[in-house]
Structure 1
Amino acid sequence: MELTRETAARFAQAALGHVAREYPHKLDHVMDGDADVRPPRELHPVFFGSFDWHSCVHGWWTLLTLRRLFPDMAEAARITDLAESTFTAEKLAVELAYAQRPSARGFERPYGWGWLLYLHHEAARHDEKWAERVEPLARHFADRFKAYLTVLTYPVFVGTHYNTAFALTLARQWANKRDPELRDAIDAWSTRAFASRTDYRGWEPGGDEFLSPVLSAALLLRHTLPHAQFAPWFAALVLDNGWLATLDPASVSDRSDGKIAHLDGLNLSRAWALREIVPTLSHAEDRALLQQKAAAHLEAALPHVTGDYMGEHWLASFALLALLASE
């Protein structure tokens, strides 16, 4: 269960084929007047591809991550050239102006916000000026997160784009050394929202979910709680009641259906969460259970990351998260 050069090339080829592909496209767009009836490439000159804005953002995260890990693969030069023509100050200024519109207050909240911060986190690992150019947009969404957490009374548990915990997990990685105020706000909010919860018995998977509500929350608290506190909390949440022992990979009936294809993402995001949590657990049998469940979920999904555009335009990002997770 490692990221090989062959797999990296397959993921890179898929992402290169969609981050600059404008159509088909699903907009998250509030129109204030006739002038706002415009094509994706004008509204979002950087993130107009990959079927929707957020998928384009994390498609770019995938490409930059693969470029860093495999700088000598043939696709790395193509990634560099496309990034140079895409991450320009002029194009990113248009993206920022769009996000600053009063009617865009809820634009891509919170999923796209989290991925944009995570993209900036990765761009900062490269020598080019991409991170410098993306930073104003990242700072905008960081400020949006701070304001959002002051009014978000309850977490959103649904296993799709509105899930609170998933977005905060990505945002916290960005904020850890860049924005202590946001990091502390995430930690405080997450503790209030999740630390007292126990004995999970939710019904999952949902028919078109790509996130596990409980494992997304657990992954967030894996980063926000000390290990000595997290391990017993996690045990009381999903181990002691036997829930995790019964967790099997989701079955995907139709990968040409964009919603049903979400279930491949669920298998990958579960594997990511489980692999990240393993090092925090003290009991060997618990670690072995999580490793076995993560492997089963990865094996169920990895062959289907590419093949149909409805999954191919986004699944590589989730496969990469799982493959690069801590072990």
Structure 2
Amino acid sequence: MTQSNHHLTPDLASRFAKLVLGHLTQEYPNKLTHSLDSAADVQSPRALYPIFYGSYDWHSCVHGYWLLTRLLTRYPNLPEAPTIRAVFNRQLTEANVKGELAYLAVPSRAGFERPYGWGWLLALQTALEQNVTTESQRWAKILSPLADAFVARFIDFLPKATYPVRVGTHFNTAFAMTLGLKYARAARNTKLETQICETAWRWHANDVNCQAWEPSGDEFLSPALMEAELMRQVLSDAEFQIWFSAFLPNLVQRQPATLFLPATVTDRSDGKIAHLDGLNFSRAWCQRSIARALPRDDPRSALLFASADLHYESAIAHVSGDYMGEHWLGTFALLALEA
């Protein structure tokens, strides 16, 4: 089995930290996902979301905090660490969490950020709780009511969701459930874990011979590989190998071929087209994770590791350069590196 040579180094961590700090509390430009019940609801992003008003949109701001938390965990003495801690201390307050909860409490906003932002908020909570420093534990305690709110939304939503959403954008259910499952297990929330595992089985247990009709023009997730990554976490190793062999039965022949070919990005100033750099990172993430779940002598493992390197290398030079990508791509680069 061939492992990747790509790793998170202190220099790269510092580069990512600088990038995120440059936009985490930058209010504009901003793309609001906002339900208005009256003229009084016409407010600025900062007024609506006291914590997560930066980074162009709510969910990108959330996973910007996740990225910085992971960097602090890996490299607590980064040159940017004091600035990161100052931003967290200023933003992660009980008053600001109450403001975020007040926004969610409006009935017309029950579907706000479903499911992508739900998954990312739980991922942030997981990252804070897994950092054992006193300061991170304090931030986790402050943020926990917001995490509880999204846990409740997952538990309410999944039983009535008859079908999965398989697109490669924010509506992809496998991605959000993958992040939610990691939170559930770390927090020992058996109700959420059971709900996610049962839903994943209900939706995907009988999925076979995936054709992988991807990429679409604005995807940043692979519908095929994201589903496989979810099932890798839901199933035991033995169960997953059986399921995966039926799901992508011709992988050893490098089929579907699209999964081995990085997406082409023609205009990184176009926010939708720029999503495709994220697709290349997220494929690298899933391919590495799946490769490690296969037997060491399985030829598919080497193929997936090689493809992951190819996808990662196609995107890493473009993490910065245009705001349409740089407000979020560092997060997906780190997902690939930590796989």
TM range (shorter): over 0.9
Gaps of 5+ in 1: none
> Shift of residue 186 of structure 1?
0.3
2:77 matched residue in structure 1: 72
Residue among 133, 136, 148 paired with 2:145: 136
Moved more, 86-95 or 169-178: 169-178
Q: Give 1:60's aligned residue.
A: 65
User: Is the 2:211–2:256 Cα contact (8 Å) retained in structure 1?
Assistant: no
Divergent runs of 4+, >6 A: none
For 2:257 and 2:58, locate their aligned partners in 1 and report how far apart those are by CA, in whole Å: 36
Asked if structure 2 preserves the Cα contact closer than 8 Å seen for 1:239 and 1:245, the reply is: no
Matched, 1:237 2:247: yes
* 1:207 is aligned to 2:199: no
Letter of the 1:74 partner, please give it: P
SS in 1 for 2:231: helix
Match of 1:92 in 2: 97
1:265 aligns with 2:265: no
Distance 2:134 2:274 in 1: 36
Whether the 8 Å contact between 1:302 and 1:319 is mirrored in structure 2 is: yes
Query: Matches of 1:322 and 1:119 in 2, distance apart?
Result: 17
State the partner residue of 2:174: 165
1:151 aligns with 2:164: no
Could you tell me which amino acid in structure 2 is paired with residue 31 of structure 1?
Answer: L
Determine whether 1:295 maps to 2:309.
yes
Matches within 5 A, 1:1-327: 1-124=6-129, 125=131, 126-128=133-135, 129-178=138-187, 179-240=189-250, 242=253, 243-244=255-256, 246=258, 247-282=260-295, 283-325=297-339
1:259-291 Cα offsets, whole Å, 9 max, x none, are 000000000001001111112112431110110
Corresponding residue pairs, total: 325
CA distance in 2, matches of 1:313, 1:112: 15
Of 44-53 and 228-237, the range deviating more from structure 2: 228-237
Aligned to 2:3: none
Displacement of 1:306 in angstroms is 1.2
CA shift at 1:28, angstroms? 0.7
Amino acid at match of 1:175: A
Q: Distance in 1 between matches of 2:49 and 2:167?
A: 27
Greater mean alpha carbon deviation, residues 234-243 or residues 215-224: 234-243
Deviates more, 1:253-262 or 1:227-236: 227-236
Q: 3-state DSSP class of the match of 1:249?
A: coil
Shift in Å, 1:239: 4.1
1:215–1:273 contact (8 Å) kept in structure 2 = yes
Q: Deviations over 1:129-170 (max 9, x none)?
A: 100011000000001001110110000001000000000000
- Of residues 237-246 and 123-132 in structure 1, the stretch that sits farther from structure 2 once superposed is 237-246
Tell me the SS of whatever aligns to 2:50.
coil
Deviations 1:72-111 (A, max 9, x none): 1111111001100000000111001111210110100000
Q: Deviations over 1:232-272 (max 9, x none)?
A: 22122224264255520001000010000000000000100
Q: Check the 8 A contact 1:245/1:289 in 2, yes or no.
A: no
Indicate conservation of the 8 Å contact 2:231/2:240, yes or no. yes
